């Protein structure tokens, strides 16, 4: 015996194919009693829906839009690549993706982009951006038109998104704090904290988590005020020098990007390998630093997972189908020299 089909259900329930379909897809216009009869038959026969056939018959394809900030962040670039790869895979399931890079800092341009998407018959939108009132409104606008929106990497807690795909930044910061506390040993020590900017919610949350753990579990450690570099390597070097003049440093926590600049600055000061360095996200540079023993731990999220999860969740939302929480749960990964995953094969470069 092969698996029961909708035809079997129809026969068993004494109704037509169309009615079974209506019940299956929770479409209106069926009497309560009929619904019950169909559901009974489904349960009796142990029917399992064939997704492949369903998708085929729908011959509907889903156009998803993914919005990522432009700029030269290695992490975002890696994510963009992963998105393209996931999209290629998803094309098999009638899901296509349109990747859009928007000028960072320009919230209004982003909002305009989002508003524009609403008219293009888009089935879902994923957006990675800091939360602003303008963005919140744009998201609400989309959702009012029944277009699902998911937040990517950075949560938008007050925008009313359908889902958040990423990790809890505060917990990520706590993890960094725990590692820093354990890696720097037992004596008293000062920990430098470096960031390009503290305007981003992620950086703030990470710092908060980091401090929490250090304060509670490693009272002998002292996390210094954040050194903001604003992307200027000289600022970083100068700042570090100043911190050093006030006493020895046991570790450096890099809140965001800037691995290259940090490695350079530490190298100049002859500190490479002498202080514990912990950072976020696995990029070409952090990977190299990890391999070279200049970086001791990376807190990361898997971009491939992030990308596939995004497309799957958007698809589920578009279908109003439930989400497999277990599968979509992103992990806060800890990457050390010894568990560094092999370099992924270089995909075709994203044109933006």
> Which residues contribute to the site for DNA (CB under 7 A)?
2-3, 5-7, 14-19, 21-22, 24-25, 28-31, 33-34, 47-50, 53-54, 56-60
Neighbours of 115 (CB within 10 A): 13
Q: Which stretch binds a second copy (CB under 8 A): 29-37, 138-146, 247-255, 298-306?
A: 298-306
Size, binding site for a second copy by CB under 8 A: 53
Q: 67-106: which residues touch a second copy (CB under 8 A)? A: 85, 89, 91-94
SS3 237: helix
Q: Which residue's CB is nearer to a second copy, number 102 or number 218? A: 218
The rounded distance, in Å, linking the Cα atoms of 279 and 173 is 10
- Beta strands 297-300 and 276-280, pairing class: parallel
Angle between helices 284-292 and 74-90 (to 10 degrees): 120
The rounded distance, in Å, linking the Cα atoms of 155 and 163 is 9
Asked if 48 interacts with a second copy (CB under 8 A), we say: yes
Instruction: Say if CB 210 and CB 175 are below 8 A apart.
Output: no
Q: Could you tell me the smallest distance in angstroms from the CB atom of residue 325 to DNA?
A: 23
Asked if 3 interacts with a second copy (CB under 8 A), we say: yes
331 binds, among a second copy, DNA, none (CB under 5 to 8 A by kind): a second copy
Instruction: Say if CB 265 and CB 240 are below 8 A apart.
Output: yes
Asked if 332 interacts with a second copy (CB under 8 A), we say: yes
60 binds, among DNA, a second copy, none (CB under 5 to 8 A by kind): DNA
Q: Which residue's CB is nearer to DNA, number 25 or number 327? A: 25
CA atoms within a 13 Å half-sphere pointing along the CA-CB vector of 213: 18
Asked if 351 interacts with a second copy (CB under 8 A), we say: no
Asked if 146 interacts with a second copy (CB under 8 A), we say: no
Q: Which residues neighbour 181 within 8 Å (Cβ) at sequence distance 6 or greater?
A: 213, 214, 217, 218, 221
3-state helix, strand, coil split of the chain in percent (to 5) is 50, 15, 35
Q: Which residues neighbour 119 within 8 Å (Cβ) at sequence distance 6 or greater?
A: none
Q: Which residue's CB is nearer to a second copy, number 241 or number 331? A: 331
Asked if 172 interacts with a second copy (CB under 8 A), we say: yes
Q: Could you tell me the smallest distance in angstroms from the CB atom of residue 87 to DNA?
A: 17
Q: Could you tell me the smallest distance in angstroms from the CB atom of residue 308 to DNA?
A: 22
Backbone φ, ψ for residue 233 (5° rounding): -55, -35
Q: Which residue's CB is nearer to a second copy, number 102 or number 210? A: 210
Instruction: Select from 26, 43, 52, 348 the one that contacts a second copy (CB under 8 A).
Output: 52
Neighbours of 49 (CB within 10 A): 13
The rounded distance, in Å, linking the Cα atoms of 191 and 240 is 11
Asked if 350 interacts with a second copy (CB under 8 A), we say: no
Instruction: Say if CB 152 and CB 165 are below 8 A apart.
Output: yes
Q: Footprint of a second copy on this chain (CB under 8 A)?
A: 2-3, 48-53, 55-56, 59, 61, 85, 89, 91-94, 171-172, 174-175, 177-179, 182-183, 185-186, 209, 213, 296, 299, 302, 304, 308, 324-327, 329, 331-334, 336-339, 341-342, 344-345
């Amino acid at each position: 015996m092969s698996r029961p089909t909708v035809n079997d259900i129809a026969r068993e329930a004494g109704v037509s194919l169309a009615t079974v379909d209506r019940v299956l897809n929770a479409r209106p216009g069926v009497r309560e009693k009929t619904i019950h009869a169909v559901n009974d038959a489904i349960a009796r026969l142990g029917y399992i829906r064939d997704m492949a056939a369903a998708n085929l018959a729908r011959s509907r394809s889903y156009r998803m839009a993914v919005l990522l900030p432009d700029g030269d962040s290695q992490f975002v670039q890696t994510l963009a690549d992963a998105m393209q790869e996931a999209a290629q895979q998803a094309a098999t399931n009638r899901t296509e993706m349109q990747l859009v890079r928007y000028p960072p800092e320009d919230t209004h341009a982003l909002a305009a982009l989002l508003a524009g998407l609403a008219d293009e018959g888009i089935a879902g939108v994923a957006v990675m951006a800091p939360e602003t009132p303008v963005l919140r409104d744009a998201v609400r606008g989309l959702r009012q038109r029944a277009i699902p929106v998911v937040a990517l990497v950075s949560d938008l807690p007050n925008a009313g998104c359908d889902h958040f795909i990423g990790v809890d930044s505060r917990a990520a910061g706590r993890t960094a704090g725990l590692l820093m506390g354990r890696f720097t040993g037992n004596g008293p020590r000062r920990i430098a904290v470096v960031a390009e900017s503290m305007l981003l919610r992620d950086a703030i949350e990470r710092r908060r988590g980091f401090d929490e753990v250090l304060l509670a579990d490693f009272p002998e450690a002292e996390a210094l005020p954040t050194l903001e570099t604003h992307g200027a390597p000289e600022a970083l070097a100068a700042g570090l020098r100043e911190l050093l003049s006030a006493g020895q440093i046991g570790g450096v926590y890099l809140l965001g990007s800037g691995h290259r600049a940090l490695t350079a600055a530490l190298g100049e000061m002859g500190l490479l390998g002498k202080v514990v360095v912990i950072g976020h996200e696995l990029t070409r540079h952090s990977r190299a630093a990890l391999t070279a023993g200049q970086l001791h731990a990376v807190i990361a999220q898997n971009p491939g997972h992030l990308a596939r999860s995004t497309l799957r969740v958007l698809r589920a939302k578009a279908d109003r189908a439930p989400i497999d929480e277990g599968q979509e749960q992103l992990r806060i990964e800890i990457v050390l020299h010894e568990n560094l995953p092999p370099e992924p094969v270089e995909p075709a470069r994203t044109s933006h």
